[in-house]
């Protein structure tokens, strides 16, 4: 965990990639796309903890259809910046059975976590599983999953803000930054 001084220094040295205004516009656009697709549905939305809390908080009030809301908690990062093995803290709920599900996440990085979540949701009997991500990191290698709804494409750097953290800090920023040198 970073000290307060280290966290501030990290932010001061970081590169701003996406302004808060650009983030808000992307979320508003996504809300319109998701509403158009699900306006006659009653889906279950699953927030991927902890990263997607910011995204969900901004997106949910903009959706104009009835929905149920729950969460999953699976991560490969913890407080590190390098992906590790997948750890489930909260599996998808049994209520996905027979439902159309939308998984909401902060980032599509290498795609292993979201692919595992989608697989598990479908194994539990969801009729369909759609993925909406605030950011998609441009990677040279193919990913095992793609987003059905995408907010922003970002470069292949270690980013933070808008729910994304660096060493456990700065999920609360309204803009997206990249670590210096990463």
pLDDT tens for residues 13-60? Answer: 999 999 999 999 999 999 999 999 999 999 999 999 999 999 999 999
What are the residues whose beta carbons fall under 8 Å from the beta carbon of 57, sequence distance 6 or more? none
pLDDT in the model for residue 77: 58
Of 26, 14, 1, 63, whose CA–CA distance to 173 is shortest? 14
Q: What is the DSSP string of 106-141?
A: EEESSSHHHHHHHHHHHHTT-SEEEEEEEEEE--SS
Q: How far is it, in rounded angstroms, from Cα 115 to Cα 23?
A: 24
40: containing domain: 4-178
Say which CATH number the domain at 61 has: 3.40.50.2020
Tokens of 140: 């040279």
pLDDT in the model for residue 1: 80
| Total count of domains within the chain | 1
Tokens of 149: 């709804």
pLDDT in the model for residue 98: 97
Of 177, 176, 163, whose CA–CA distance to 106 is shortest? 163
The string of pLDDT tens digits covering residues 100-133 is: 999 999 999 999 999 999 999 999 999 999 999 9
**Structure pTM?**
0.92
Q: How far is it, in rounded angstroms, from Cα 96 to Cα 13?
A: 43
């Amino acid at each position: 965990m970073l000290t307060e001084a280290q966290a501030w220094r990290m932010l001061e040295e970081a590169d701003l990639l996406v302004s808060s205004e650009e983030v808000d516009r992307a979320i508003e656009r996504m809300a319109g796309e998701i509403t158009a697709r699900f306006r006659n549905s009653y889906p279950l939305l699953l927030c991927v903890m902890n990263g997607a809390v910011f995204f969900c908080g901004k997106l949910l009030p903009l959706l104009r259809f009835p929905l149920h809301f729950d969460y999953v908690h699976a991560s490969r990062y913890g407080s590190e910046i390098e992906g590790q093995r997948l750890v489930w803290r909260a599996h998808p709920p049994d209520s996905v059975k027979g439902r159309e599900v939308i998984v909401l996440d902060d980032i599509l990085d290498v795609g292993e976590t979201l692919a595992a979540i989608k697989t598990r949701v479908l194994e539990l009997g969801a009729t369909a599983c759609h993925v909406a991500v605030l950011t998609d990191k441009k990677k040279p290698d193919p990913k095992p999953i793609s987003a059905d709804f995408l907010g922003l494409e970002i470069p292949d750097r270690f980013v933070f803000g808008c729910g994304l953290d660096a060493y456990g800090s700065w999920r609360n920023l309204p803009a997206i930054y990249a670590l210096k040198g990463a």
